[in-house]
């Protein structure tokens, strides 16, 4: 038998839920970031705890191992400097040719490094939170990537942290192009919940001739992702759908979404 | 009540910050249903309501869920158990495991149903069935652990019940010569 206090509790919970669910999206976004801010002190503690084994390992390294690592890094630095000067020369040549043909000069990408502070606790979304926000100049829909390839896009921005919706989430669809002679175009859409590294490439033309191992990059269509960011590799041959009108296949992502520690936010 | 809310806060943070279950089993385990079972069996309806509201809001704040969508599933599990808790053998680990499994099964299903009703498109597929089973198993295993932890906390932090001695000075038999 329900008592008065039970009715009161039932009414209060229903009222709070209805109130929060009916708030305008802007207010919800602010409220969400405000409530999420309560966890900020714990983020720092968790990061410190994660770095502790690394620091302990560094402390245990011998002097000879450290010297060897320094030498390797110096060699790699030299190699990257040479590659950078070659790339700069190529970029200059590209600019001159663009000027001759009359094409618009392509702006170089501006990147900002961000640390991943947490992942979505729900199993039915693929999002992460990063430690950059409005104070760092972030706005919604900026592309996020690693050195391996595309990761996703910024979906909401707080003052000190932002939410990134990962590629493979239903809310992150990407217009993609296959690097093959036909330049087949399609849309990256979610895969299976358990397969973190595989997504579907859908809306390909019915006669698309795809082979596994071909590279897939962003097409630049859609206005969010610039063209040419690596997404992944074709994992299997295209299969026809809708009586052969279109085709779809699966793509193995280049970026390892299951082990993201640091990502780059791309400012265009 | 404060202890339960603090545990819920830490549980939500741990689910977002530590990814071991996701790496091992492909799914993150939700500890809030197990906490709700403890609250429903051992506290009052006010604590159950507060846990549903606070836990739901904290979970949704760190997730891509619309804010407030996790409140009702938690409350829908905790409220009936709180009403009928006199009929449940709450001290038995088997009862705790069964209730934890049932709650961990019901909360995500109700959450996803609410999301679909609200026009959202959560990532679902055949793999979600496996994730659901992992959540049920994780919740079932966590529930007796949470009961044991809270019992230990109450034992360590609470006042111990004073044991009464059978000695009564007015009934003392005085022996010896005067």
Query: Phi and psi of A239, rounded to 5°?
Result: -115, 135
Residue A234: strand pairing partners? A251
Q: What is the pTM of this model?
A: 0.81
pLDDT score recorded for residue A82:
92
B53-67 burial: b if 16+ Cβ within 10 Å, else e:
bbbbbbbbbbbbbbb
pLDDT score recorded for residue A268:
67
Q: Is the pLDDT of residue B83 over 60?
A: yes
Place of tokens 């799914």: B27
Q: Which of A9, A28, A34, A121 best tests the B interface by mutation, with the highest count of B CBs <10 A?
A: A121
**Cβ neighbours around B40 below 10 Å, total:** 28
Q: Is the pLDDT of residue B120 over 70?
A: yes
In three-state secondary structure terms, B26 is coil
Q: Which of A219, A208, A212 is nearest to A241 (CA)?
A: A208
**Cβ neighbours around A165 below 10 Å, total:** 23
Choose among A10, A21, A155: nearest Cβ to B79: A10
Q: Which residue of B has its CA nearest to A258?
A: B23
ipTM: 0.79
The DSSP annotation for B155-171 comes to HHHSPPPPPPPS--GGG
Cβ pair A38:B9 closer than 8 A: yes
Residues in chain A, how many? Answer: 268
The predicted-structure confidence for B2-49, as pLDDT tens digits, reads as follows: 888 999 999 999 988 888 888 888 889 999 999 999 999 988 888 999
pLDDT score recorded for residue B58:
92
Looking at per-residue pLDDT, the higher value among B138 and B167 belongs to B138
The DSSP annotation for A86-140 comes to HHHHHHHHHHHHHHHHTPPPPPPPEEEEEEEEEE-SSTT--EEEES--GGGT--T
Give the CA distances from residue B118 to residues A158, B37, B77, B93, B122, in Å, rounded to whole numbers and listed in that order: 24, 27, 20, 37, 11
Choose among B15, B46, B58: nearest Cβ to A35: B58
Tell me the count of A-B CB pairs closer than 8 A.
148
From A110's Cα to the closest Cα of chain B, the distance in A is: 27
Q: Which residue of A has its CA nearest to B18?
A: A118
CA–CA gap between residue A49 and residue B18 (Å, rounded): 11
Assess contact for A128 and A164: CB atoms under 8 A.
yes
pLDDT score recorded for residue A143:
92
Cβ pair A36:B62 closer than 8 A: yes
Six-digit token string for A180: 């093959």
Sign of the Cα pseudo-torsion (A57, A62, A66, A71, in order): negative
Choose among B10, B65, B75: nearest Cβ to A122: B65
Sign of the Cα pseudo-torsion (B75, B77, B78, B80, in order): positive
Q: Is the pLDDT of residue B178 over 70?
A: no
- β pairing state of A246-253 and A215-218: unpaired
Looking at per-residue pLDDT, the higher value among A1 and B111 belongs to B111
Six-digit token string for A23: 């708030």
Choose among A2, A118, A171: nearest Cβ to B62: A118
Q: Is the pLDDT of residue B107 over 90?
A: yes
Q: Which residues of B touch A190 (CB under 8 A)?
A: 123
Place of tokens 């806060």: B9
Six-digit token string for A75: 């060699």
Assess contact for A246 and A205: CB atoms under 8 A.
yes
Percentage of chain B modeled with pLDDT above 70: 98
The tens place of each residue's pLDDT in chain A, 268 residues long, gives: 677 888 888 888 889 888 888 888 888 888 888 888 888 888 777 777 777 777 787 778 888 888 999 999 999 999 999 999 999 888 888 888 888 887 766 666 788 899 888 888 998 999 998 988 888 888 888 999 988 889 999 988 888 888 999 998 888 889 999 888 888 888 998 888 888 888 988 888 888 778 888 889 998 888 888 888 889 999 888 788 877 788 888 999 998 888 888 899 988 6
pLDDT score recorded for residue B55:
93
The CA-to-CA distance between both ends of chain A, in Å, stands at 63
pLDDT score recorded for residue B177:
64
Assess contact for A225 and A263: CB atoms under 8 A.
no
Q: Which residues of A touch B58 (CB under 8 A)?
A: 35, 38-39
What is the arithmetic mean of pLDDT over B102-125?
91
């Amino acid at each position: 038998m329900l008592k008065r206090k039970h009715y009161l509790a039932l009414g209060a919970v229903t009222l709070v839920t209805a109130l929060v669910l009916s708030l305008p999206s802007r207010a919800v976004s602010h409220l969400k970031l405000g409530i999420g801010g309560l966890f900020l002190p714990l983020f720092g503690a968790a990061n410190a705890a994660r770095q502790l084994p690394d620091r302990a390992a560094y402390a245990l390294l011998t002097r000879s191992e450290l010297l060897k690592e320094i030498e390797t890094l110096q060699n790699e630095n030299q190699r990257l400097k040479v590659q950078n000067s070659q790339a700069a020369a190529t970029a200059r040549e590209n600019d001159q040719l663009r000027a001759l043909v009359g094409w618009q000069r392509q702006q170089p990408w501006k990147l900002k490094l961000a640390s991943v502070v947490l992942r979505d606790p729900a199993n039915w979304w693929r999002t992460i939170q990063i430690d950059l926000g409005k104070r760092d100049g972030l706005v919604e829909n900026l592309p996020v990537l690693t050195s391996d390839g595309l990761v996703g896009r910024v979906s909401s921005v707080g003052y000190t942290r932002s939410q990134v919706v990962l590629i493979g989430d239903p809310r992150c669809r990407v217009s993609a192009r296959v690097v093959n002679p036909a330049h087949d175009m399609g849309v990256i859409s979610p895969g299976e919940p358990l397969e973190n590294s595989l997504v579907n490439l859908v809306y390909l033309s019915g006669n698309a001739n795809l082979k596994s191992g071909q590279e897939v990059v962003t097409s630049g269509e859609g206005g969010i992702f610039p063209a040419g960011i690596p997404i992944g590799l074709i994992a299997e041959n295209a299969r026809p759908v809708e009586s052969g009108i279109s085709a779809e296949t699966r793509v193995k992502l280049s970026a390892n979404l299951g082990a993201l520690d640091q990502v780059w936010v791309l400012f265009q | 009540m404060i202890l339960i809310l603090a545990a819920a806060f830490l549980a939500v943070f741990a689910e977002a910050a530590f990814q071991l279950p996701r790496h091992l089993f492909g799914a993150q385990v939700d500890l809030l249903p197990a906490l709700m079972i403890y609250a429903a069996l051992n506290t009052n309806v006010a604590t159950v309501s507060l846990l549903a509201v606070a836990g739901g809001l904290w979970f949704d704040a760190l997730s891509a869920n619309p804010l407030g969508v996790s409140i009702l599933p938690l409350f829908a599990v905790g409220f009936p158990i709180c009403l009928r808790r006199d009929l449940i053998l709450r001290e038995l680990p088997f009862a705790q495991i069964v209730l934890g499994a049932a709650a961990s099964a019901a909360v995500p299903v109700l959450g996803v149903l609410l999301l679909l009703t609200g026009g959202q498109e959560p990532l679902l597929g055949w793999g979600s069935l496996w994730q659901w089973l992992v959540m049920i198993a994780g919740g079932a295993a966590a529930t007796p652990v949470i009961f044991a932890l809270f019992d230990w906390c109450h034992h360590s932090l609470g006042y111990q019940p004073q044991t009464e001695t059978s000695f009564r000075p007015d009934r003392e038999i005085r022996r010896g010569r005067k």
